Structure 1
Amino acid sequence: MTFAETETTELKQKFSDSLPKEIVAFLNTDGGTIYIGVDDSGKIQGVSNLDKTLKKIADILEFQILPDCRSFVELGTKFIEQKHIVTINVKKGENLYYIKKYGRSSQGCYVRIGSTTRSMTEEQITLTQNKYFDSKVKITEIESNIQTLTFQYLKLLLTEKGFSINENTFAQNFHLLTKSGSFNKMSELLADKNEFSIKVVRFKGKEKSDGIVMRNEYGEKCLIVAMKQAFDYCADVINETRISFEKGVRKDISLFDKTAFREAWFNACLHNNWADGTPPAIYIFTDRLEIISSGGLPVNLSKDDFFLGVSKPVNEELAKLFIRLDLMEQTGYGVPFVTKHYGKSAFEFLDFFLRVTIPFAFELESEPQSKPQSEPQSEPQKDSKIREKIINEIKKNPKITKEELSKKFELSLSTIKRKLSEMKDIVYFEGASKSGHWVVKDNE
């Protein structure tokens, strides 16, 4: 076994008074292992009094470090080269840890930077404390500023997946209420109308300072609808395909991997710190696409666990809903899939934000080129497509209402009524308004 000091490995020839600092640093960073009885060169020196050393370490954990960290630290021993060494395996903690004697100060709080242990600055301490505080605030426990919410979009999405809706218990079953019975922040996110808006911004060059070409806002509507619209725009409009020929074989090259983008974007929407009211955003440059979400790395998750796909949702009830709607998997598939295509460097962990960068296979034009006049769809062509979609939806669900068609295609109710009136020779409603159904004539 070879020993070397790294970001997650500390070597100590013997027990010393600096041990509390090193344990605290690993607790406050990404965890790691401390080996006592191994010198800086990696040579085994051994521990002469094993029981006494283990007792001293146990006392440090119990009496010298706050908050209680014992559930995150595991003591052990190894017998190597006929010598005993002590192992201290430290997991990333779920709080800001410090040496009790010095309190939450630069003398008491430490982090791991590279292979060294460093004091935290007062600013870092404040930021870390605030981050842990924010992580404990759940969107199911925060009362919404709006208490006149409706959920027709959400109900439609659920019924399409085969769920039955009980109007009397709907809000309670899907955790849309606080303990006091008011609509919570999660309900506001999922409501037909809200105050959240997702931005998709395209820039002229490789920097924001190059100027904006386009800015789309997908907002003030159900989060699931808004995030799908943002995804569709990027996947269908931005994601160009170019053709190349290698040895006479045609090869289609997409600007970026659509599935990797979907996983990164949906995860950003799910794990975003919605408690602070900042929605995720997509920034499109000529050489890359960036997804920004607030909250950063979950406080109870190390970077290693994150990249392995360990799932610890920030918004647990929202995650359960996403799984029910097939928007994500429970297996932690997303992050490993993105890293497989773009590497770990695609993820950048900032103090309060997470940035995912998806590089492009080729460079975009600085501004979208206008298409030839013959390409845009004429109004009759667009109208024909809308009619076709309405007919297909009615064939799938003959009992669908005009209101549901309006929400499905994001057209006004008056537009749907007009289209159906224009199509009366093809589609008609048979029976009473509540018990009847649509009929599509055979010649269509």
Structure 2
Amino acid sequence: MKESPTVEFKRELTDAVVHEVIAFANTQGGVLYIGIEDDGTVLGVPNAHKQLEAVSNKLHDNIQPDILVHLYLEVVELDKKEVIKIAVARGARRPYHLKRKGMKSSGVFIRYGTSVTNASEENIRQMIIESDGTNFETMRSLKQELTFEEASHFFAQTNIKFGVEQQRTLGLMTDDGYYTNLGLLLSDQCEHSIKCARYLGNDKLEFQDRKEFSGSILAQVESVYEYLSLNNATSARFVGLKRLETESYPSPALREALVNAVTHRDYSFSGSILIHLFQNRIEIVSVGGLVKGLTIEDINLGISQSRNPKLANVLYRLKWIESYGTGLQRIKESYKESLERPFWTTSPNAFVMTLPKQQLTTPDSDENELEQWLSQQSEFTTRELEAYLNKSKGTVRKLIEQLIAERKVTRVGNGRTTRYRTLN
């Protein structure tokens, strides 16, 4: 007998035995003998059957996840001496690791030839993917020392319990006590962030300020929304004796766009959500394009397929999402009084939401003049109104539709002969 990539000898029971068993379970499995020298000389184990129980207890107490289901321990006789044989199968919940170290490189071992070495972070990440699958939310997090002070605050505000059982039900924790990547997102140690940049003009040539928001994804959303609200100017106008206030950007649209970006981004990418505040628009860039199989036409029709359904469920329970698949429609509806409309574009790895600065369908400076002009016209064409207002064809068409809805004008004729008759 001699040592090989799948056979290992140990003189006696030490911590090295634990390391070897972990390495076999994380690699291709193998057999470890206790009571044999490295050169193959059989020494035997005194009281081998009693020692067998000690070996089993040591492996159970020092290795996570539970590895005993992948082991077969027995006492065998070699050269008329009793030795302990540990047959180790390749584990189904890799990476196996020292309990006291966690899933860190210092606690995870792999077999390299006839030697045991510490696994790299990339080795560990690959083992998690092979064991848990590629669904980001349900994979075990590389970080397991997590706290939830910020998340607990938000759950308490909504009177929702947030104990261990609730964390398991929501998907923050596995049945065997490991935090998932969803848990990492909601934890105070969340590795993702949201970056905001404010510009002096309508391009990226000159910054006014930049901010990065970190911590629990829930705290990030609240802080970013406050930041956007501080930069959302309000203007006032009077209709008769009534004062009407208008935000540069409808608050419901800002809220929905922000929550949408956080809910549907691809967290397997390390990049941040980017928010650009220009003088005439806000752009929210979410990492990851549309979920595979969906098109822009699909989402415009209200079809929704969440990339992160467990995160969406958490936000739904917190009442940040009212119902699935309606966010984009609510963003559109919040702009119903504006000449400009929100729009979104996609690439294979990005989704960009553009919220234009609101322009009311009857701007203050033009409203009285428009009323006076209409009172002087019995009929007019689209081109005539375009020339008077010095507005684009699309803007004037939206304005005419509003005038028709308000019963101030009516359409006469069809096609090129279409005219509009004023109603007194």
When normalised by structure 1's length, the TM-score is 0.47
When normalised by structure 2's length, the TM-score is 0.49
Q: Which gives a bigger RCO, structure 1 or 2 (Cα 8 Å, sep 6+)?
A: 1
Which protein is bigger by CA-based radius of gyration? 2
